[in-house]
Amino acid sequence: MQREGCRMSGGVHEPATAGMITLDDLDNMTDDLGSDSAYNSNGSVEEEAEPMEDGEQDRLLNYWQTVARGHQVEVPNEMAEPIQQLSRNSRTEERQTVPFLLLSCKEKCGDILYEKRQYGTAKWACIKMKEEKYEQSICMGFMKLMKYICEQNSSGSYLGMTIPVLTTVHTDETQTGIARDVTVAYYIPSHLQANPPQPTDPDVVIEEWPPTVVFTREFAGVTNEESIMREISLLSEVLDAPDPCLQDTFIVAGYTNPAAANRRNEIWFLQRP
């Protein structure tokens, strides 16, 4: 991955603040809504839901606004339609997972310590963010990508949700913290890879990422500066040879709604080209 962009690259061949709500609050909201409000990780196909009424759209918007305030992010009212559309389709369509080839897996006492995967060339919609806090960057970046997914593109159509949503992060010069500049990326669905619809937002760009090899470890919970640095340290400890990986650029992969209580994430190390 190049530090100034959001691309992956590797040597392979092609193949609690004021307003923060508690976990209990999130669980209750999610139960009431009947979904994780944007995308989920089970990959199941659910029965088609009835179209949402205006009141349901307001509930979804209020839910996102409440959660976002905990990260000091304001969700504008114009996000009501994209939130509703993504939520409605997450109940009726299978979420497409970014394809990869599993190269190896290291286990200990039945637990997976890490996986080594190969990802092929693919096109991604990317948005660069540089907010004060990591949580602010990923929330605001994902909202921009939601608009692109939900008809604000040259085709005027809903593109479909894919998982994981990736965020590239860089460690600072001392390698003890996360730099402010991050990139949030959405995998273009397979059937649109050859000719991706163009974003109407000039801040969202389509990039083609070259093939790469990643070392990945799963973790649960929120993603913030502290948890990311902890997971980087943990993966570095279990890797047999971390030296072949980039030392200042990492990826956080999110498989669940950023507002969900029980989040599934991965930390990725990138193999050097």
Residue that has been written with the tokens 């205006």 in this structure? 54
Q: Comparing 209 with 90, which gets the higher pLDDT?
A: 209
Range of the domain at 146: 96-271
- Residue 215: pLDDT band (50, 70, 90) is very high
Q: Hey, what amino acid is at 246?
A: L
Residue 254 lies in a domain: yes
Q: Hey, what amino acid is at 58?
A: D
Please, which residues have CB within 8 angstroms of residue 262's CB and are 6 or more apart in sequence? 220, 256
- Residue 95: pLDDT band (50, 70, 90) is confident
Residue 46 lies in a domain: no
Average pLDDT for 174-191: 91
Least confident of 5-9, 38-42, 83-87, 210-214: 38-42
**Domain total for the chain?**
1
Dist CA 108 CA 95 (whole Å): 30
CATH number at residue 215: 3.20.80.10
Least confident of 67-71, 178-182, 213-217: 67-71
Cα torsion for 85, 87, 90, 91, to the nearest 10°? -110
Average pLDDT for 70-74: 67
Taking CB atoms within 8 Å and a gap of at least 24, the contacts of 4-8 are 5/126, 5/183, 5/207, 6/124, 6/126, 6/128, 6/166, 6/168, 6/183, 6/185, 6/207, 6/209, 7/207, 7/208, 7/209, 7/210, 8/119, 8/209, 8/210, 8/212, 8/214, 8/251, 8/270
Residue 212 lies in a domain: yes
Residue 62 lies in a domain: no
Tokens at 16, concatenated: 């609690």
- Residue 211 to residues 7, 80, 186, 269: CA-CA distances in angstroms? 10, 36, 16, 14
Tokens at 96, concatenated: 């497409």
Q: Comparing 10 with 124, which gets the higher pLDDT?
A: 124
- On the question of pLDDT at 189 being above 80, the answer is yes
